[in-house]
Amino acid sequence: MSGTTPTGEQEPAGAAAPVVDPRLLVRERGMAGYVEEFRRKIRGGELGAIPVVVGLIIIAVVFQSLTGTFLTPGNLSNITVYIAGPGLMAVGIVLVLLLGEIDLSVGSMAGLSAAIWAVLSVGQGVNDLLAIVLAIAAGAVVGTIHGFFFAKIGVPAFVVTLAGFLGWSGLQIWIMGSEGTINIPRDSLVRDFNNFYFSDIAAAYGLALVITLGYAAALWTGERRRAAAKLPNRQMVDLAVRIGLVAVAAFTVAYVLNQHRGLPLALVIFLAVLIAADFMVRRTSYGRQIFAVGGNAEAARRAGINVVRVRLTVFTIASSLAALGGLFWAAQAGGASKSLGSGNLLMNVIAAAVIGGTSLFGGRGWIWSALLGTLVIQSITTGLNLLGMASEIQYMITGAVLLIAVVVDSVSRRTQRTAGRT
């Protein structure tokens, strides 16, 4: 905190820094600079994850004071299991939203995937793991069909996936045939998606440690390379704060999970998909291409990007993730049924992506909104369940939360435009 020297003239003269545009608001050295930059971002509408995190805290406080049991390890642990299914589907939706499109078929796809797995594994006696793989592959095929009609033929994605929404749920009912529901057998891996916990406390703490160290290593090497290339880099304080926040969050979650049954398998898979998707979006050419197509498809095309391929594959990934999420959803429901994946699942998943901070208008967002948004939706649902509220009330409240999130998105877009940002 002692680094705040108000006299700017003490910059070393021999630094030979390139002349900086005087209009640019350069970050001052020291903590004051960070505070100033933070204020500017808030004023400019770059709220980042702040509204969601604040919202989560409010939700937690309100439900804790109303029920007294919301913040118990058991309840929190259950939430981390429940978010896996919709969360995986939301990751796919985030990718589609980044393109500036929408996929309305993820709910039907989830139900279809569960039906395919159940009929193959339970009905036909196919190997359990093979049936899971086939169900996810079915998702890939469905997504490729959507992508083909949207990207190649040029039908609006809204219409293609609306057709899929109806068509795939029809196929789901047809596949289920005379069976109303198929329960998950005891020894199935799908049951583990809901029920398996790594009960050794070392598992949760170990994962927290790996995540913290991995994050710290990635951040540290990145900044070291920037410093070596003489590019502007973050200060040690900044790095320490970031790593500290991640560490606190990871170890708090690990501690709470260990108070209950340990580390759920569902959370591990969800986190793995989140980290992989985040890496793909931010660190690979393909991810960059998704943002480019979502920002300005014609510019992307002229830059030599194969727009059709990007669009098609994103829909393939989205439906594959919906298929995977559907198996988790079935695990929670205890089995596949004719109506699995209908109801408000689709809306909850899309709402989660938007609440988490991914724009409906394309080209803006991040993968972690799938986690944050699903947490908000699931916390509200769980809290209302604890209060014994009827589902109609839950629908209304979730609808209101979605509306608030979209309003925040639209308003922050407007503020950002006046502040010259997208």
How far, CA to CA in Å, does 325 sit from each of 85, 269, 294, 356?
Answer: 4, 10, 24, 18
User: Given candidates 300, 321, 380, 405, which one binds another protein under the rule CB under 8 A?
Assistant: 300
Nearer to another protein, 66 or 299 (CB): 299
291 touches another protein by CB under 8 A: yes
299 touches another protein by CB under 8 A: yes
Question: Minimum distance between the CB of residue 133 and another protein, rounded to whole angstroms?
Answer: 25
360 touches another protein by CB under 8 A: no
Tell me which stretch binds another protein (CB under 8 A): 187-195, 229-237, 319-327, 339-347.
Answer: 229-237
Tell me which stretch binds another protein (CB under 8 A): 135-143, 238-246, 294-302, 342-350.
Answer: 294-302
User: Given candidates 364, 369, 374, 408, which one binds another protein under the rule CB under 8 A?
Assistant: 364
User: Given candidates 242, 261, 309, 421, which one binds another protein under the rule CB under 8 A?
Assistant: 421
Positive or negative, the CA dihedral 151, 152, 156, 162 is negative
Tell me which stretch binds another protein (CB under 8 A): 14-22, 60-68, 160-168, 376-384.
Answer: 14-22
Phi, psi of 182 (to 5 degrees): -120, 115
With contact defined as beta carbons under 8 Å apart, do 95 and 318 qualify?
Answer: yes
302 touches another protein by CB under 8 A: yes
User: Given candidates 74, 156, 180, 222, which one binds another protein under the rule CB under 8 A?
Assistant: 222
Nearer to another protein, 259 or 296 (CB): 296
17 touches another protein by CB under 8 A: no
CA distance 137 to 208: 31
CA distance 202 to 57: 28
Phi, psi of 314 (to 5 degrees): -65, -40
229 touches another protein by CB under 8 A: yes
Within residues 63-82, the interface with another protein by CB under 8 A covers none
User: Given candidates 14, 125, 304, 388, which one binds another protein under the rule CB under 8 A?
Assistant: 304
Closest CA to 381 of 137, 57, 9, 63: 63
CA distance 307 to 226: 32
Footprint on this chain of another protein (rule: CB under 8 A): 18-19, 21, 23-24, 222, 225-226, 229-231, 283-285, 288, 291-292, 294-296, 298-305, 363-364, 417, 419-422
